[in-house]
Each structure stands twice: as C-alpha cells, then as structure tokens.
Structure 1
C-alpha cells in the first residue's frame, strides 16, 4: 500500500513512501517501463512542477514501486466484484488512513475488502482532483530509482522538490518541508479517453461498495464517474496511446464504464450506452468484457440477454478448442508474459456464465483452472500463489525480491513457454518478471475465483 506505513508484528514491511509525489513529467518524453508524455502536459502544471494531492492511496505495481493507473482501477473492479457477489467481511487488518498506518493481523471492526477498495479509490479520486482527468501513473524519474531494491520509503527524501533550493538544501519541517533534491516521482498526464473510461468504471464500482462505509468518498467517486462519462460522451475521444499505461482498447473501456455506472445507478442512460457499446465490443473483446456483460443481464432487455448467451456459447467453444492442445484443461498462453492471469480470469468468466446461464458450462473445467494455479502444471508442481498450497512459490518478484523471498498471497504469472515449446518458471531467480512478478489485479482475481469455487462446492 503506497503512501502508508505497513507493519506486521515485529516486522515493518515498508514505510510511508513517496509523500513527495509528484512532479509533472516533461513533454515529448519517452520514459522507461512503457510510460511517455505527449507534446503537452494536458494540465495546468509546467514540466517538473509539483502537482499537489497525489500522495495518497494506491498500491505498488507490485514488484515495481510505481502507481500504474490501469492496474489500480483493474484491482478496484476485481475487489468490488468480490464484494458484490460474496460480501466478504473478513477483518484481519487495521488501516488508519488519517495517520497513514497499517497493522496486519490486528482486526479493527472494518471489512478488509472495503478498506482496500477505499485505498485504491483515494488514488483515482486524487488524480481527478489534481488535474481533472485520469493519468497514466506515477513512476520513478530515473533508472537508478526504478531498479531500487529495498524499502520504498528510502527511494526519495519524502520532501517536495523546490527548484529554488540547492541540491542538498532543506526548508521546512520533516513531513511537510521542501528540498532541492530532484528525486520525486513523475506523473504522466497526457489525456486518454480509454484511461478515463477505465478509471471512471473503477470509481463507479467503488461507489456502490463504499456506500454506507465511506459515504463521502462514495459520493465523490460516483460524481466524478458520472461527470467524466458525460464529458467523454460529448466529444471526440482522446486517442493518445503508449505502451500499456494508457488504458485498454477503447471499445472495452467504454463498455465497462457504461456497465459499472448501470450497476451502480440503475439509470436508463447507461443501459442504452451499454447496449450501444456492446455491439462494438462483443465480437473481438468478449473475453475482456464478458464478466461486465453478464453482470448487467438482469437490468437489460431480453434481446440483450439472448445476445450475451450466444456470445458466451461462442467463447466457450473457442476456449475448449484452445485448451485442447495440452492435458491440463486450460488455455496456456505463449507470449512474453506467462498466463496465470488468463487461466484465472477465464475460470471467472466460466463461473459467471454458469451462474447467469446454468447448463452452458462444465463446472469441472473451473476446478481445472484452480488445480493449474495450485500446482498441476508444467515446469514444477508449486502453487503460483505464494504461501497458499502444499508447496508454493517462495522466490518471486515482489518488493522484497532482493531477499529472494516472497509475500504471502502474491500471485505470479507462472509458466512461460519458451519457443517453441519449453515450459519454464524459474525458482532460483526472481527477476524474470514475466514469470515471477506479483501483479495486483491478479491478486484480486484470485480472491474472486477462490470464493467462486467455494460457492460451487455448496451446490
């Protein structure tokens, strides 16, 4: 949890880091880790000027220390889906946002799931408050910081950069002062409609989960989502794209935004938008929008439900064919990033299809996915979720990767297929992030799937 002190018993996991966030990224700049700033800032701030208010909420992405907005809203939507479906009230963590302090294994009378949704939402809201739209993220200014190994609190001096001071000068008090050290992270702010839609989908989802828990934040999140959706619908989209930091395909993000707003408000305007954007996304992008499409079936006309059923059947047939090339019953990807996320999210989509249209899915295939994640896969028999399973990944690419150690509950990408057909997952070298990096949306997806199979077991 960025911007927070996180403690577990006698162990400090990390201090309250990056309290000096963030400086406006320079224009026409291609950065590391797939960030880039376009020809303008699209904000009121000059390059390397401090943007106030961004030093709140958000999670490390997860082996690295940046706040990648696309990961933030994906994680929020995953956690909200679990809350919507299963209402998990587990309480094992004390979170005090006002003093930026977290104590693990100390109940505080509040559902951990809601506290995490709140934490991610605070960052998304802060972005809109600061610059008026979603930003790509906040990332280290140089490769020296980017490759930092250790506590995130030691990456910067936690003092806001002041160009009028010398490099080693400090003004003001600790925690609220300024320094001349140019070590603050950069915010990349070029406007992207896809990123805006994705963020407002996360905010709309968060609003319904936080209602009754943090009403002020819920109201603000929904207000931003409603206003941003109206703005985007009323103009030509901003199509700026770079790497994987500027949102998913516009067709996907638009549909998800309409669906989440419909689920939260029930208003016809969003049903109409969802129906319109369903038509442009249902073919090529069903695997990405399927869970959202299924969630709104009870709120949509009968012809929509029939179309979603047909699309579900087509996807299931395609999935069965793709999974037939291996004995594990799941789709094994062959790109540069291993595929545990594809396996988990595919199983979630199967579960949601099963609950919406009973009889279409062989539920044994959902258990195949769970078996794959927990050790029935090529390369070795370790669970791909650290600390979960009889034997699990104990050397992974998390924030403590320099210790060749792990973080319980972290989910790794898993089995990478080296061309042409060699499966690999290195247990002796955590730095292969395509195999071993903890990715925060995958953690949220794993939580949903585990509750889904427990629900199935009650049938």
Structure 2
C-alpha cells in the first residue's frame, strides 16, 4: 500500500474521487454519439453553443476507427441520429451502403432506420426495409401466441420487464414509420404488462406507486428500510428455483426489484406518453 505522498506510474497514495475508469466498448460509444446528436437537435433553439458542441463532438467520435463487432445496431442508431440532426449525405450513404446488414437485423434496426427513410431518396432501399419490417412483424405476431400476455415473454433468471418495455418503445417507432404494417397493439400490451394488467397471479405494477397494487419493496437506495422510490421501475417477475416465475416481496432480489433510470424509468415514461398519443391523437 502506497503512502499518501507516494505514487507510481499507475497508482497514487492519494485518494481522488475524480478518477474515472473507462473501457473500450463500441456499443456504449455509439450510444453516446447518438445521445450527443439528439442533444444537438433538441438544444438548437435553447442553447445554440452547447448544441453545436454536442454535434461537433458526436461527429468527431463517429470518425474514430473502432471494431463494431456486435455494436452494428448501435452504429445504425447513431448514424440515423446524426443524419436527422445534420442532414449530411455521409450518414445517409452509410445507411444505404449497410442495407444488407440492416435488413438482416431488422428486428434490432427497423425501429431506428424507419425514422430516416424520409431523408433517403432511394426507392429500392425503402422497399427492402418495408418488406423486411413486414416479415419481422409477422414473426412478432406469431411469437405473441406463445403466451397469454401479448408480449415476447420468456421467463429467465433476470426479470423481463425492461426488455418488454424496450420492445414496446421499438414497436411505437415501427408503427410511426410503418403504420400500414405495424399496429399499436403490442406497444400497448407492453405497457399493460408492466402495469400488471395481464392474466396470472403476479399482477403487481412494476412501477412503484403506479396502479392499485405495485412494487413497494424494491432494490433502491432505501432497500434496507424495505421501502421504495415513487416512479421507480423494477425488472419484475423472474425465475426462482425450482424454475417457476415468481415475484417476491423482498428488497434484496436484485434481479427482480432493482431500479434503473436508463431503460427502466425512461422507457416506462416514454411508453406512457406514447400510449397517450396513439389513443388520443
């Protein structure tokens, strides 16, 4: 152990909470690029200087070489957001040139690429994307017949609520881009599932404090008090040995009752707003 006044090339004896440990992760980097591109668009009429900085940073990061590997979906999302923000042809060209991969992975890219189609003047590309979305949605409809919930639900060790919410968000964007192909049914089913409106014994709302019965014992900062955070959204019902889907009122089952903002609370709020829009437009 180093004394406070000692240091090496990699370690210091002084504790410093400003230290940040990072990683090389293409998927996370493309998510950051997409977020910066979105921020540049949203802030444009509010804080022009900050908006410009966000876009410049996103474009600079986009140009860096990285191994996309399994991050192709995230790269497509980043490319779409940069195109929507900058309208530059280089991002449109990337999307068109990646048509084979985009079509092959339409289940993960369709919700994003659909938003960019109005800016892509390539009839063949648009036809390929729509045909792929049509095939994908037929598969979604078939998958829903596996259970009585109307959502893609296959219980596992970790609760499936967040994945179902993400599915609902993607269904909304698919419907917005391809309203004659994708209905709003499964988006609304996803929200209903999270709110506990479905068959079965475990009908608690995953959103704490929302609904007539909700998760009010959760893995938040006040878990030791067996309490909850209003509006926190847990991942929900998971497999408990001997492999039955159960929902326990116990604060330390991390895989069931953990709160997160990204994907948990954010997707829930988005789905609520999306449902309000499609039902009241």
User: For this structure pair, what is the TM-score category when the shorter chain's length is used for normalisation?
Assistant: 0.7 to 0.9
Is the Cα contact below 8 Å between 2:171 and 2:187 reproduced in 1? yes
Measure the CA separation in 2 of the matches of 1:361 and 1:383.
26
**Cross-structure match for 1:47:** 10
Measure the CA separation in 2 of the matches of 1:335 and 1:186.
36
Task: Write the mapping of 1:74-153 to structure 2, written as runs, cut at 5 A.
Answer: none
Measure the CA separation in 2 of the matches of 1:440 and 1:259.
23
**1:330 pairs with 120, 130, 151, which one?**
151
Deviation at 1:249, TM superposition (A): 2.4
Gaps of 5+ in 1: 1-44, 50-162, 164-179, 240-247
**Cross-structure match for 1:274:** 95
Is the Cα contact below 8 Å between 1:197 and 1:253 reproduced in 2? yes
**Cross-structure match for 1:291:** 111
Is the Cα contact below 8 Å between 1:334 and 1:416 reproduced in 2? yes
TM-score normalised by the chain length of structure 2: 0.86
**Cross-structure match for 1:216:** 49
**Cross-structure match for 1:187:** 20
Measure the CA separation in 1 of the matches of 2:214 and 2:221.
18
Match of 2:20, SS state, is: strand
Provide Cα deviations, 1:148-187, integer angstroms capped at 9, x if missing partner: xxxxxxxxxxxxxxx3xxxxxxxxxxxxxxxx4x373753
Pair 1:440 & 2:258 matched? no
Is the Cα contact below 8 Å between 1:291 and 1:349 reproduced in 2? yes
**Cross-structure match for 1:320:** 141
Task: Write the mapping of 1:229-248 to structure 2, written as runs, cut at 5 A.
Answer: 229-232=62-65, 237-238=66-67
Deviation at 1:216, TM superposition (A): 2.5
**1:365 pairs with 178, 186, 206, which one?**
186
Provide Cα deviations, 1:96-144, integer angstroms capped at 9, x if missing partner: xxxxxxxxxxxxxxxxxxxxxxxxxxxxxxxxxxxxxxxxxxxxxxxxx
Q: Which has the higher strand share?
A: 1
Pair 1:449 & 2:258 matched? no
Of 448-457 and 309-318, more deviation after overlay is shown by 309-318
Measure the CA separation in 2 of the matches of 1:219 and 1:307.
34
Provide Cα deviations, 1:342-371, integer angstroms capped at 9, x if missing partner: 222222222222222223234333322222
Q: 1:367 to 1:277 in 2, by over 3 A?
A: same
Is the Cα contact below 8 Å between 2:158 and 2:239 reproduced in 1? no
Is the Cα contact below 8 Å between 1:255 and 1:278 reproduced in 2? no
Measure the CA separation in 1 of the matches of 2:195 and 2:273.
15
Pair 1:398 & 2:220 matched? yes
Provide Cα deviations, 1:409-433, integer angstroms capped at 9, x if missing partner: 1111111134776211212x12212
**2:246 pairs with 406, 420, 424, which one?**
424
Provide Cα deviations, 1:219-261, integer angstroms capped at 9, x if missing partner: 11111111111223xxxx247xxxxxxxx92211221111110
Measure the CA separation in 1 of the matches of 2:149 and 2:236.
14
Measure the CA separation in 1 of the matches of 2:127 and 2:277.
25
Pair 1:306 & 2:127 matched? yes
Gaps of 5+ in 2: 1-7
Pair 1:227 & 2:190 matched? no
Of 383-392 and 275-284, more deviation after overlay is shown by 275-284
Match of 1:249, SS state, is: helix
Q: 1:332 to 1:360 in 2, by over 3 A?
A: same
Cα root mean square deviation, aligned? 2.4
TM-score normalised by the chain length of structure 1: 0.55
**Cross-structure match for 2:40:** 207
The number of residues matched between the two structures is: 271
User: Which is bigger in relative contact order (C-alpha 8 A, separation at least 6)?
Assistant: 1
Deviation at 1:212, TM superposition (A): 2.1
Q: Which has the higher helix share?
A: 2
Deviation at 1:450, TM superposition (A): 0.9
Is the Cα contact below 8 Å between 1:417 and 1:424 reproduced in 2? yes
Measure the CA separation in 1 of the matches of 2:34 and 2:16.
32
Q: 1:334 to 1:267 in 2, by over 3 A?
A: same
Measure the CA separation in 2 of the matches of 1:278 and 1:436.
39
